[in-house]
Protein backbone atom coordinates (compact mmCIF):
# COMPACT_ATOMS: atom_id res chain seq x y z
CA UNK A 1 0.00 0.00 0.00
CA UNK A 2 2.97 2.28 0.37
CA UNK A 3 3.19 2.46 -3.42
CA UNK A 4 -0.29 3.93 -3.69
CA UNK A 5 0.55 6.51 -1.05
CA UNK A 6 3.74 7.56 -2.78
CA UNK A 7 2.20 7.73 -6.26
CA UNK A 8 -0.68 10.02 -5.31
CA UNK A 9 0.54 11.81 -2.17
CA UNK A 10 0.77 15.56 -2.55
CA UNK A 11 -0.22 15.69 -6.20
CA UNK A 12 -0.56 19.24 -7.52
CA UNK A 13 -4.02 20.42 -8.67
CA UNK A 14 -4.95 18.71 -11.93
CA UNK A 15 -4.80 20.51 -15.26
CA UNK A 16 -7.98 20.69 -17.34
CA UNK A 17 -7.90 17.97 -19.99
CA UNK A 18 -9.13 17.89 -23.58
CA UNK A 19 -8.89 14.58 -25.44
CA UNK A 20 -8.56 14.61 -29.24
CA UNK A 21 -8.39 11.60 -31.56
CA UNK A 22 -5.94 12.04 -34.44
CA UNK A 23 -4.63 10.18 -37.47
CA UNK A 24 -5.54 6.80 -38.90
CA UNK A 25 -4.30 4.64 -36.01
CA UNK A 26 -6.90 5.90 -33.54
CA UNK A 27 -4.27 7.80 -31.55
CA UNK A 28 -5.38 10.02 -28.71
CA UNK A 29 -3.62 13.30 -27.95
CA UNK A 30 -4.50 15.38 -24.92
CA UNK A 31 -4.23 19.07 -24.27
CA UNK A 32 -3.63 19.67 -20.55
CA UNK A 33 -3.88 23.26 -19.38
CA UNK A 34 -3.98 25.63 -16.45
CA UNK A 35 -7.17 27.72 -16.62
CA UNK A 36 -5.49 30.57 -14.72
CA UNK A 37 -2.24 31.08 -16.62
CA UNK A 38 -3.48 29.46 -19.90
CA UNK A 39 -0.23 27.47 -20.14
CA UNK A 40 -0.67 24.10 -21.82
CA UNK A 41 1.03 20.77 -22.44
CA UNK A 42 0.28 18.48 -25.36
CA UNK A 43 0.56 14.74 -24.82
CA UNK A 44 2.05 12.72 -27.71
CA UNK A 45 1.70 15.29 -30.51
CA UNK A 46 1.20 13.46 -33.81
CA UNK A 47 -0.55 13.38 -37.18
CA UNK A 48 -2.69 16.51 -36.87
CA UNK A 49 -0.57 19.15 -35.15
CA UNK A 50 -2.32 21.95 -37.06
CA UNK A 51 -5.64 20.79 -35.69
CA UNK A 52 -4.23 20.54 -32.17
CA UNK A 53 -2.88 24.07 -32.46
CA UNK A 54 -6.21 25.39 -33.74
CA UNK A 55 -7.80 23.97 -30.59
CA UNK A 56 -5.02 25.59 -28.53
CA UNK A 57 -5.81 28.90 -30.18
CA UNK A 58 -9.56 28.51 -29.70
CA UNK A 59 -8.97 27.93 -25.97
CA UNK A 60 -6.54 30.88 -25.88
CA UNK A 61 -3.67 28.73 -24.55
CA UNK A 62 0.10 28.88 -24.87
CA UNK A 63 1.89 25.54 -25.35
CA UNK A 64 4.97 25.30 -23.14
CA UNK A 65 5.44 21.54 -22.97
CA UNK A 66 5.09 18.29 -24.88
CA UNK A 67 4.66 15.21 -22.68
CA UNK A 68 5.78 11.98 -24.37
CA UNK A 69 4.41 8.64 -23.11
CA UNK A 70 6.79 6.68 -25.37
CA UNK A 71 8.56 7.15 -28.65
CA UNK A 72 6.82 4.90 -31.14
CA UNK A 73 6.37 6.97 -34.25
CA UNK A 74 2.61 7.26 -33.94
CA UNK A 75 3.12 9.15 -30.65
CA UNK A 76 5.97 11.50 -31.65
CA UNK A 77 5.34 12.06 -35.35
CA UNK A 78 4.32 15.67 -34.67
CA UNK A 79 6.96 16.64 -32.09
CA UNK A 80 9.15 18.42 -34.62
CA UNK A 81 6.25 20.49 -36.02
CA UNK A 82 5.02 21.33 -32.52
CA UNK A 83 8.47 22.40 -31.30
CA UNK A 84 9.04 24.54 -34.39
CA UNK A 85 5.71 26.31 -33.99
CA UNK A 86 5.60 26.73 -30.21
CA UNK A 87 9.13 26.24 -28.81
CA UNK A 88 7.68 23.73 -26.35
CA UNK A 89 10.11 21.78 -24.16
CA UNK A 90 9.78 18.02 -24.61
CA UNK A 91 9.44 15.75 -21.58
CA UNK A 92 10.56 12.19 -22.30
CA UNK A 93 12.10 9.35 -20.33
CA UNK A 94 15.92 9.43 -20.64
CA UNK A 95 15.95 5.87 -22.00
CA UNK A 96 13.99 7.06 -25.05
CA UNK A 97 15.41 10.57 -25.41
CA UNK A 98 17.58 9.66 -28.42
CA UNK A 99 14.50 8.89 -30.47
CA UNK A 100 13.10 12.35 -29.81
CA UNK A 101 16.47 13.95 -30.60
CA UNK A 102 16.48 12.10 -33.93
CA UNK A 103 12.92 13.15 -34.74
CA UNK A 104 13.15 16.78 -33.59
CA UNK A 105 16.70 18.06 -33.64
CA UNK A 106 15.95 21.52 -32.32
CA UNK A 107 14.02 20.36 -29.29
CA UNK A 108 14.85 21.12 -25.66
CA UNK A 109 14.50 17.89 -23.69
CA UNK A 110 13.45 17.47 -20.06
CA UNK A 111 13.92 14.10 -18.35
CA UNK A 112 10.76 12.34 -17.25
CA UNK A 113 11.96 11.09 -13.86
CA UNK A 114 9.80 8.67 -11.90
CA UNK A 115 7.77 10.46 -9.24
CA UNK A 116 8.69 13.93 -10.42
CA UNK A 117 6.01 16.61 -10.73
CA UNK A 118 5.88 18.64 -13.93
CA UNK A 119 4.26 22.06 -13.69
CA UNK A 120 1.68 23.21 -16.22
CA UNK A 121 1.02 26.75 -15.06
CA UNK A 122 -0.28 26.45 -11.50
CA UNK A 123 -1.41 22.88 -12.16
CA UNK A 124 0.73 19.82 -12.70
CA UNK A 125 1.16 16.12 -13.40
CA UNK A 126 3.51 13.48 -12.02
CA UNK A 127 5.67 11.21 -14.19
CA UNK A 128 5.27 7.49 -13.47
CA UNK A 129 7.85 5.18 -15.00
CA UNK A 130 5.88 2.32 -16.55
CA UNK A 131 8.09 0.22 -18.86
CA UNK A 132 6.96 -2.96 -20.60
CA UNK A 133 5.55 -1.73 -23.91
CA UNK A 134 8.81 0.24 -24.36
CA UNK A 135 11.91 0.69 -22.17
CA UNK A 136 11.05 4.22 -21.11
CA UNK A 137 7.27 4.12 -21.10
CA UNK A 138 5.87 6.89 -18.91
CA UNK A 139 2.37 7.55 -17.63
CA UNK A 140 1.38 11.03 -16.43
CA UNK A 141 -0.68 11.06 -13.26
CA UNK A 142 -2.87 14.01 -12.29
CA UNK A 143 -5.14 14.37 -9.29
CA UNK A 144 -8.12 12.37 -10.60
CA UNK A 145 -6.87 11.02 -13.90
CA UNK A 146 -3.93 9.26 -15.53
CA UNK A 147 -2.60 9.41 -19.09
CA UNK A 148 -1.62 5.81 -19.84
CA UNK A 149 -0.12 5.86 -23.36
CA UNK A 150 0.16 2.33 -24.76
CA UNK A 151 0.47 0.72 -21.31
CA UNK A 152 -3.23 0.51 -20.43
CA UNK A 153 -6.09 0.75 -22.93
CA UNK A 154 -9.81 0.63 -22.25
CA UNK A 155 -10.26 -3.14 -22.10
CA UNK A 156 -6.71 -3.91 -23.17
CA UNK A 157 -3.00 -3.26 -22.76
CA UNK A 158 -0.04 -2.58 -25.02
CA UNK A 159 1.94 -5.28 -26.79
CA UNK A 160 5.23 -6.42 -25.32
CA UNK A 161 6.77 -8.01 -28.41
CA UNK A 162 8.17 -4.85 -30.01
CA UNK A 163 11.83 -3.83 -29.48
CA UNK A 164 12.32 -2.89 -25.83
CA UNK A 165 9.12 -4.61 -24.75
CA UNK A 166 9.13 -6.83 -21.66
CA UNK A 167 6.13 -8.78 -20.41
CA UNK A 168 7.24 -8.95 -16.77
CA UNK A 169 7.86 -5.20 -16.68
CA UNK A 170 4.47 -4.63 -18.28
CA UNK A 171 2.84 -6.71 -15.56
CA UNK A 172 4.53 -4.62 -12.87
CA UNK A 173 3.53 -1.38 -14.60
CA UNK A 174 -0.11 -2.50 -14.86
CA UNK A 175 -0.09 -3.55 -11.19
CA UNK A 176 1.13 -0.09 -10.29
CA UNK A 177 -1.71 1.54 -12.24
CA UNK A 178 -4.16 -0.92 -10.68
CA UNK A 179 -3.24 0.42 -7.23
CA UNK A 180 -4.25 3.98 -8.10
CA UNK A 181 -7.50 5.19 -6.50
CA UNK A 182 -10.37 3.35 -8.21
CA UNK A 183 -12.12 6.52 -9.36
CA UNK A 184 -9.01 7.65 -11.29
CA UNK A 185 -10.03 8.31 -14.91
CA UNK A 186 -7.95 6.54 -17.55
CA UNK A 187 -6.94 8.38 -20.74
CA UNK A 188 -5.36 5.78 -23.05
CA UNK A 189 -3.05 6.32 -26.01
CA UNK A 190 -5.48 4.82 -28.54
CA UNK A 191 -9.22 4.64 -29.02
CA UNK A 192 -9.30 0.83 -28.95
CA UNK A 193 -12.05 0.29 -26.38
CA UNK A 194 -15.82 0.60 -26.14
CA UNK A 195 -15.46 4.06 -24.62
CA UNK A 196 -12.90 6.84 -25.03
CA UNK A 197 -11.94 6.91 -21.36
CA UNK A 198 -12.52 4.61 -18.42
CA UNK A 199 -11.71 4.34 -14.73
CA UNK A 200 -9.32 2.13 -12.80
CA UNK A 201 -12.39 0.55 -11.11
CA UNK A 202 -13.93 -0.31 -14.48
CA UNK A 203 -10.67 -1.75 -15.81
CA UNK A 204 -10.17 -3.85 -12.65
CA UNK A 205 -13.60 -5.38 -13.31
CA UNK A 206 -13.59 -5.68 -17.10
CA UNK A 207 -10.02 -5.71 -18.45
CA UNK A 208 -8.83 -9.30 -18.71
CA UNK A 209 -5.21 -8.24 -18.57
CA UNK A 210 -5.80 -6.58 -15.20
CA UNK A 211 -7.88 -9.53 -14.03
CA UNK A 212 -4.95 -11.94 -14.35
CA UNK A 213 -4.04 -13.42 -10.96
CA UNK A 214 -0.33 -13.82 -11.68
CA UNK A 215 2.50 -12.90 -14.00
CA UNK A 216 2.34 -16.41 -15.50
CA UNK A 217 -1.32 -16.02 -16.37
CA UNK A 218 -0.65 -12.54 -17.78
CA UNK A 219 2.27 -13.83 -19.84
CA UNK A 220 0.15 -16.56 -21.40
CA UNK A 221 -2.59 -14.11 -22.29
CA UNK A 222 -0.33 -11.26 -23.46
CA UNK A 223 2.05 -13.33 -25.52
CA UNK A 224 -0.73 -15.32 -27.18
CA UNK A 225 -2.81 -12.33 -28.21
CA UNK A 226 -1.23 -10.03 -30.78
CA UNK A 227 -3.54 -7.07 -30.92
ZN1 LIG B 1 3.36 2.14 -28.78
ZN1 LIG C 1 0.56 3.65 -30.04
Q: At what angle do helices 167-178 and 215-224 cross, to 10 degrees?
A: 120
Q: What is the pLDDT of residue 219?
A: 97
pTM of the complete model: 0.96
Rounded CA separation 205/182 (Å):
11
Distance set, CA 160 to CA 63, 140, 170 (Å): 32, 20, 7
Distance set, CA 27 to CA 3, 44, 130 (Å): 30, 9, 19
Q: Which among 135, 49, 132, 42 is positioned nearest to 89, based on CA atoms?
A: 42
37 CA distance to ligand 2 middle (Å)? 31
Q: What is the pLDDT of residue 226?
A: 60
Task: Identify the nearest ligand to the CA of 190 by its number.
Answer: 2
Task: Identify the nearest ligand to the CA of 164 by its number.
Answer: 1
36 CA distance to ligand 2 middle (Å)? 32
Task: Identify the nearest ligand to the CA of 25 by its number.
Answer: 2
Rounded CA separation 161/226 (Å):
9
pLDDT in tens, the chain (227 residues): 444 458 999 999 999 999 999 999 999 999 999 999 999 999 999 999 999 999 999 999 999 999 999 999 999 999 999 999 999 999 999 999 999 999 998 899 999 999 999 999 999 999 999 999 999 999 999 999 999 999 999 999 999 999 999 999 999 999 999 999 999 999 999 999 999 999 999 999 999 999 999 999 999 999 986 65
Distance set, CA 42 to CA 55, 65, 76, 113, 222 (Å): 11, 6, 11, 18, 30
37 CA distance to ligand 1 middle (Å)? 32
Q: What is the pLDDT of residue 224?
A: 85
190 CA distance to ligand 2 middle (Å)? 6
60 CA distance to ligand 1 middle (Å)? 31
Q: What is the pLDDT of residue 1?
A: 46
25 CA distance to ligand 2 middle (Å)? 8
Amino acid sequence: MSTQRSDTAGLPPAPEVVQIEVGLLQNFCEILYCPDTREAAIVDPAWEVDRLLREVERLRLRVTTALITHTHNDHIEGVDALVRQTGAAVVVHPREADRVRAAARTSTLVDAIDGQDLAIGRRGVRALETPGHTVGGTCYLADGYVITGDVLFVGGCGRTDFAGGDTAQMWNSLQRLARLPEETRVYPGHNYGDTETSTIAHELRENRFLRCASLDEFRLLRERKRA
